[in-house]
Amino acid sequence: MISVSKLLCDLDAEGDGLRYDAADESTKRQIRDEKQRRPVVVWNVTKQCNLYCDHCYAAADTEIADGELSTAEGKALLDDLADYGAPVVLFSGGEPLVRQDLEELVAYANEVGVRPVLSTNGTLITEERAQSLKDAGLKYAGVSVDGLPERNDDFRGVDGAFEGAVQGIENCLDAGLKTGLRYTITERNAADLEGVVDLLTDVGVDRFCFYHLDYGGRGTEIVDADLTPEDRRQAVKRVCDMTREYHDRGEEIETLLVGNYADAAYLVEYAREHMSEAQAQRVYEYLRVNGGDPTGERVADVDYQGNVHLTQFWQGYSLGNVRDRSFGAIWEDESNPLLSALRNREEHLTGKCADCRYAEVCRGASRLRALTVEDDLFAPDPQCYLEETEIHGSPPFDTGENSVASGSSAD
Amino acid sequence: MEEFDHEVDAPRGATSREWEVFVREDTADPLTHVGSVSAPSTDIAREQASSLFARTAVTLWLCPADETQRYQTDDATLGTGNTGDDATMSVDEMESETLRGENR
Ligand code: SF4
C-alpha cells in the first residue's frame, strides 16, 4: 500500500493511523531490517456473498460454504493473532456482513488488541449495522465500488449495487465510522476513476484506495480484461495528477495504490518529472524503508476454513490451517522452502527484475501474477509498466540513514 | 503417552478440492509437509505443486485433504467449537437486506 497523497502532497492526515501499521511511524528503519514485523491479517470470515462480482478473488458464492470457522473458533483465532502480535485484522469475505456475529467478532478483536477494520461491498450496511459496527469498535470500513453506476452494477452482477454501496457509505459516515473507497482498476472501469472520486467526495468520502488486479480466484478469468502496461501507467498518472489537483484546491483527499509495487518506482519517476529532484529523492527514501511488495511477510490471509495464505489473492495455495496449529507457528515455519524463498526473493528474481534499479522499492511486485501468467514464481511481474530506460542503471539515489518510515498493506 | 483423541475433521478446500503437499528436497531428507494446493484434479494439483516446489524438491507427494484423517492432542487446536455455527445469513435474508439505494 503506497500513499500517493502522502508522498506527493505531504499529507499528514489522520489516515496515517489507518495504515495498519502497529509500529511507531517515527521509528527509523524499523521493519525491513528487523524482519520482526508482524503481518496485517486478512480474514475471510465467510465465502458467502450477496453479490457476484466478476473479479472476486475468493470466488464467493451465495450459498453457505462448508467448514466456516464458528464464532468460538473465530475468537480463538483472534486470540491466536493477538498472541502473535498481528497489529490489524481485516474482516473480509465473501461479504463479511452476511455473518450476523460480525459485530461480536469485531468487538472481540478490539478487546484482545488487534485493530479491527473491514472490507465490504457496502450493500448490507444498513443504519442499524453501521451503528452496531461502530459500537463494536470497528476502526475503518473500506467499501468497494468499481465504476460509475452502470459499470459497477454490471461488474457486481446486481442492479442498484452502486446506489446500495453509496447508501452503505452514508450510513457509515452518519454513524461516525471512518470510511474509504476500494476501487480495483481494470480496462473496463479505468475511464470512470475520476468520476467516482468526484461523486464520492461529494458524499463525504476522503480516502480512496486503488487496487491493481491480482490474478487469483475469479480474477484469473479476467486477466484479459486487465490494463495493458501503457494504460496502467496512464491510470496511475491520473491518480497522481488528480491527487495533486485536489490538494491544490485545498481538498485533502487521501489516495493510495495497492497491489503493484512497480508503482513505487513509477512514483519516483513521476516526482522527478513533474515535481523536483529533491521530492523524487524523498519519495524514494520513504519507499525504500517501506520495503516493496509485502507478500508472505507483512500481509497474510486466513480463509473461512482456516487455511493460511500468502496474500488474500493467493487462495490456490495454503501454508497450513489454523485448525491444525497456531497462525504464528505456520507463519514462522521457514522449513517451507516456498516461504523462505519468497522472503529472500531478491536472490531469486530473474529477467529485468534481477537488475532493476528499483528492485529495492519494488521487489519484483506480484509473485502471484508472475506465477499465473509466466508459470514462474520469480519471473518479472507481467504488470510492470516501467520503461526499459527507467529500469536500467545504478540505484536512483545514494541512500542515507535518515529515512522516514512508511506503513504497509491491505485494506 | 499422549492419546491422539482429537480429530480435526472440518472440510478443507476453499475453492475446489484440496491436496496436502509433501516434498523431499534431497533423497537423504525426510518428507516434509509444505501446505496444500486447491485443484479439481490430481493432474492440476501436480502442476500447481510443481510450479511452487519443483525448483527445490526431488520428491512430491499429493494427498487429498478429504482423505486425510487428522488427529492431535486436543490442546493444539483452535478449540472444539462447532464448525459452521449458524451465524450466516440465508440467501433470502441476504436478498431482502441488500441495499439498492431505495431511500437515497
Ligand atoms: S522491473 Fe521488476 S523490480 Fe523493477 S519495477 Fe518492474 S516489477 Fe519492479
ipTM of the complex in this document: 0.89
Number of domains into which chain A is organized? 1
Protein residue with its CA nearest to atom 2 in ligand 1: A353
**Interfacial A residues in 90-109 facing B (CB < 8 Å):** 98-101
Instruction: State the pLDDT at residue B96.
Output: 83
Q: For atom 5 of ligand 1, which residue has the closest CA?
A: A262
Confidence of residue A404 (pLDDT cuts 50, 70, 90): very low
Picking from A409, A393, A382, the residue whose alpha carbon sits closest to that of residue A262 is A382
Q: Is residue A383 situated within a structural domain?
A: no
Residue A57 pLDDT exceeds 70: no
Q: How far does the centroid of ligand 1 lie from the alpha carbon of residue A156, in Å?
A: 32
For residue A385, the ligand 1 atom closest to its alpha carbon is: 6
Q: Which residue of B has its CA nearest to A203?
A: B104
Cβ of B51 within 8 Å of Cβ of A375? The answer is yes
Arithmetic mean of pLDDT, A19-36: 41
User: Is A100 close to B18, i.e. CB distance below 8 A?
Assistant: no
Q: Report whether residue A384 contacts ligand 1, using a CB cutoff of 6 Å.
A: yes
Give chain B's domains with CATH numbers: 15-67 (3.10.20.520)
- Collect all residues of chain B within an 8 Å Cβ-Cβ radius of residue A371: 51-52
- Mean pLDDT across A344-366: 94
Q: What is the Cα–Cα distance from B51 to A33, expressed in whole angstroms?
A: 29
Q: Supply the CATH number for residue A80's domain.
A: 3.20.20.70
Judge whether A306 is closer than 8 Å to chain B, CB to CB: yes
Give the model's confidence band at A224: pLDDT under 50 very low, under 70 low, under 90 confident, else very high: confident
pLDDT value of residue B1: 55
Mean pLDDT lowest among A14-23, A213-222, B83-92: A14-23
Residue A50 has pLDDT above 50, yes or no: yes
Element (H, E) at A398: none
pLDDT band at A58 (very low <50, low <70, confident <90, very high): low
| Ligand 1 atom 6: residue of nearest CA | A384
pLDDT of A152 > 90? The answer is: no
Mutate to test the pocket of ligand 1, among A290, A348, A350, A356 (most ligand atoms within 8 A of CB): A356
* Alpha carbons A210 and A311: distance in angstroms, whole number: 17
pLDDT at A13 over 50: no
**Measured from the CB, is residue A358 less than 6 Å from ligand 1?**
yes
The answer to whether residue A370 sits within a structural domain is: no
Give the tens place of pLDDT for each residue, B9-44: 787 876 689 999 999 999 999 999 999 999 999 999
Helix (H, G, I), strand (E, B) or coil at A184: strand
Q: How far is B87 from chain A (nearest CA, A)?
A: 5
> Which residue of B37, B87, B89 is in closest CB contact with A71?
B87
Q: Using one digit for the tens of pLDDT, what is the confidence trace for A251-294?
A: 989 999 999 999 999 999 999 999 999 899 999 999 998 889 99
- pLDDT tens for A229-238 read 999 999 999 9
* Res. A345: pLDDT tops 50: yes
**Are the C-beta atoms of residues A43 and A94 closer than 8 Å to each other?**
no
pLDDT at A403: 43
Quick check: is A375 in a domain? no
Per-residue model confidence (pLDDT) at position A17: 39
- Please list every residue in chain B whose beta carbon sits closer than 8 Å to the beta carbon of residue A377: 51-52, 55
**pLDDT band at residue A116 using 50, 70 and 90 as cut-offs:** very high
Residue-wise pLDDT for A185-215, tens only, equals 988 899 999 999 998 999 999 999 999 988 8
Query: Residue with C-alpha cell 443504519?
Result: A127
Q: Which residues on adjacent β-strands are paired with residue A3?
A: A256
* pLDDT of B50 higher than 70: yes
* Helices vs. strands in chain B: H and E counts, helices first: 2, 5
Q: In what order do the strands lie in the sheet with A88-92?
A: A2-3, A254-258, A207-212, A179-185, A140-144, A115-120, A88-92, A40-44, A299-302, A307-309, A320-321
% pLDDT > 90, chain A: 69
pLDDT given for residue B75 in this prediction = 61
* pLDDT score for A395: 77
The predicted pLDDT at position A231 comes to 94
What was the pLDDT predicted at B79? 64
Average pLDDT score over chain B: 84
Quick check: A123 and B10 CB within 8 A?
A: no
CB atoms within 10 A of CB A332: 11
- In this structure, how many other beta carbons lie within 10 angstroms of the beta carbon of residue A66? 15
pLDDT of residue A24: 38
How confident is residue B76, by pLDDT bands cut at 50, 70 and 90? low
Distances (CA, A) of B41 to A297, A345, A393, B6: 30, 30, 46, 29
Predicted local distance difference test score (pLDDT) of residue A161: 86
CB contact under 8 A, B35 and A318: yes
The Cα–Cα gap between A115 and A134 comes to 13
For A173, the domain range is 2-344
Domain presence at residue A360: no
Q: Is residue A201 part of a domain?
A: yes
Q: What is the whole-number distance in angstroms between the Cα of residue A225 and the centre of ligand 1?
A: 22
Average pLDDT, chain A: 87
Burial A360-387 (b: 16+ CB within 10 A, else e): bbbbbbbbbbbbbbbeebbbbbbbbbbe
Contact status, residue A405 vs residue A7, Cβ threshold 8 Å: no
Looking at residue B88, the DSSP 8-state letter turns out to be: B
What is the Å distance from ligand 1's center to A288 Cα? 14
List Cα–Cα distances, A319 to A332, A334, B21, in angstroms: 11, 10, 10
Say how many Å lie between the CA of residue A260 and the centre of ligand 1: 10
Quick one: average pLDDT of A361-385? Answer: 93
The one-letter amino acid code at A284 reads Y
Do the domain assignments include residue A353? no
A15: pLDDT strictly greater than 50: no
The pLDDT value recorded for residue A215 is 84
Residue A385: CB within 6 Å of ligand 1?
no
Q: Report whether residue A280 contacts ligand 1, using a CB cutoff of 6 Å.
A: no
What per-residue confidence (pLDDT) applies to A248? 92
Task: Inform me whether the pLDDT recorded for A115 exceeds 90.
Answer: yes
B22 vs A contacts (CB less than 8 Å): none
Q: Looking at residue A25, what is its pLDDT?
A: 39
Please give the share of chain B, as a percent, with pLDDT higher than 90.
49
